[in-house]
Amino acid sequence: MLQIDDKIVSFDLFDRRFVCQLSVCKGQCCVEGDAGAPLLPDEVRRLRDELPRFEPYLTPEGRDAIRNHGVSYKDKDGDDVTTLVNNSICAFAYKDENGCVLCAIERAFREGKTTFRKPLSCALYPVRLTRYPTFTAVNVHEWSVCKCAFDEGKRLDVPVFRFLKQPLIEAFGNEWYEKLEIASVEYVKWRNSKEE
| Angstrom distance (rounded) from CA 56 to CA 62 | 11
* Parent domain of 95: 26-117
Nearest CA among 134, 196, 171, 194 for reference residue 13: 171
- Domain shared by 131 and 109, yes or no: no
pLDDT tens digits along 3-61:
899 999 999 999 999 999 888 888 887 777 778 889 998 999 999 999 999 999 999 99
Count the residues in the chain: 196
Give the total number of structural domains in the chain. 2
pLDDT at 187: 85
- Domain shared by 72 and 91, yes or no: yes
- Domain shared by 54 and 134, yes or no: no
- Domain shared by 133 and 109, yes or no: no
pLDDT tens digits along 57-116:
999 999 999 999 999 999 888 889 999 998 888 999 999 888 888 999 999 999 999 999
Instruction: Report helix angle 174-195 to 165-172, nearest 10.
Output: 120
- Domain shared by 152 and 195, yes or no: yes
- Domain shared by 58 and 3, yes or no: no
**pTM for the complete prediction?**
0.85
Q: Which of 117, 139, 167 is the last residue of a domain?
A: 117
- Domain shared by 105 and 135, yes or no: no
Q: Which of 51, 83, 117 is the last residue of a domain?
A: 117
Q: Which of 61, 95, 117 is the last residue of a domain?
A: 117
- Domain shared by 110 and 33, yes or no: yes
